[in-house]
Amino acid sequence: MKIALVGYGKMGKIIDEIATKRGHEVVARLKETPTAENLNNPDVVIEFSLPEVAYNNIKSCLENQIPVISGTTGWLEKKEEIEKIAVENNTAFLYGSNFSLGVNLFFALNEKLADLMKNVDEYSCQLEEIHHVHKLDAPSGTAISIAEGIFKHNPKFNAWKLEETQGDQLGIFAVREDEVPGTHSVFYRSEVDEIEIKHTAFNRNGFALGAVVAAEWIKDKKGNFTMKDVLGL
């Protein structure tokens, strides 16, 4: 495949390396706004940029009828608009708050646990995410996805908030520490014990590989997708 990378920071460089090893050709490495000219006619765009430019980056690619895989977090208030643009331009869009296989299995486990705990009033729920000090948004997109998985199964909660859980608002502690790639935990605490599920990333390679696998999967598809579609979860 011909792949254009929009956003060429740490993640972009790792994606470049993995895509090349898997036999793909990287035809553009952009730090600027993508256009029909500088994208160089790719089969798919992988977009890992910044929250403030993600919407315009993705919109430009979709309007040029190029499928987009996006892993940029912190802009999701405009995600519905992007999904409409993908449909209107007869192309495909896939957003992932986290492309790691392990994290997507963790999402499924989180939903199962939330369903088990929904009628057990003795336990309160709290989330925690830890990332490197360079991460610009808080909480992480992955933590928001975890919270949304809990909302889907547990009617006690209908929104998230930073810091501690209060009433129907599920709390998320967002910690920024050293060069941590990403650690996410869900706690259910009672007066007598605690249940915890946790995912710890050792490096960014798992995120990058998942993004390339998603790009391979989305070729020739139309519509809006998630990693659940890619992995058959």
State yes or no: 9 annotated in a binding site: no
Q: What angle do CA 25, 215, 60 make, to 5 degrees?
A: 90
Q: Are residues 192 and 222 in the same domain?
A: no
Q: Are residues 105 and 195 in the same domain?
A: yes
Q: Are residues 108 and 165 in the same domain?
A: yes
Q: What's the pLDDT band for 141 if we cut at 50, 70, 90?
A: confident
**Which residues span the domain enclosing 223?**
2-99+205-231
State yes or no: 226 annotated in a binding site: no
State yes or no: 206 annotated in a binding site: no
Q: What is the CATH number of the domain that holds 194?
A: 3.30.360.10
CB-based burial, 147-173: b 16+ in 10 Å, e otherwise: bbbbbebbebbeebeeeebeeebbbbb
Output the pLDDT for position 68: 98
Q: What is the CATH number of the domain that holds 210?
A: 3.40.50.720
Q: Are residues 108 and 119 in the same domain?
A: yes
Task: Indicate the helix (H) or strand (E) that contains 150.
Answer: helix 141-153
Q: Are residues 14 and 82 in the same domain?
A: yes
Helix-helix angle 10-21:205-218, to 10 degrees? 60
Q: Are residues 9 and 85 in the same domain?
A: yes
d(CA 182, CA 141): 11
Q: Span 109-116, mean pLDDT? A: 96
Q: What's the pLDDT band for 73 if we cut at 50, 70, 90?
A: confident
Which of 227, 204, 228 is CA-nearest to residue 17?
Answer: 204
Active site residues: 131, 135
Q: What's the pLDDT band for 97 if we cut at 50, 70, 90?
A: confident
Residues 6+ apart with CB under 8 A from 167: none
Question: Considering the entire predicted model, what is its pTM?
Answer: 0.79
Residue 131 pLDDT more than 90? yes
Residue-wise pLDDT tens digits, 146-161: 999 999 999 999 999 9
State yes or no: 200 annotated in a binding site: no
Q: Are residues 92 and 9 in the same domain?
A: yes
Q: Are residues 106 and 198 in the same domain?
A: yes
Which of 165, 185, 189 is CA-nearest to residue 175?
Answer: 185
Contact between 58 and 198 under an 8 Å Cβ cutoff? The reply is no
Q: Are residues 109 and 161 in the same domain?
A: yes
Task: Look at the chain and report how many structural domains it folds into.
Answer: 2
Residue 136 pLDDT more than 80? no
Q: Span 114-136, mean pLDDT? A: 93
State yes or no: 12 annotated in a binding site: no
Q: Span 192-196, mean pLDDT? A: 98
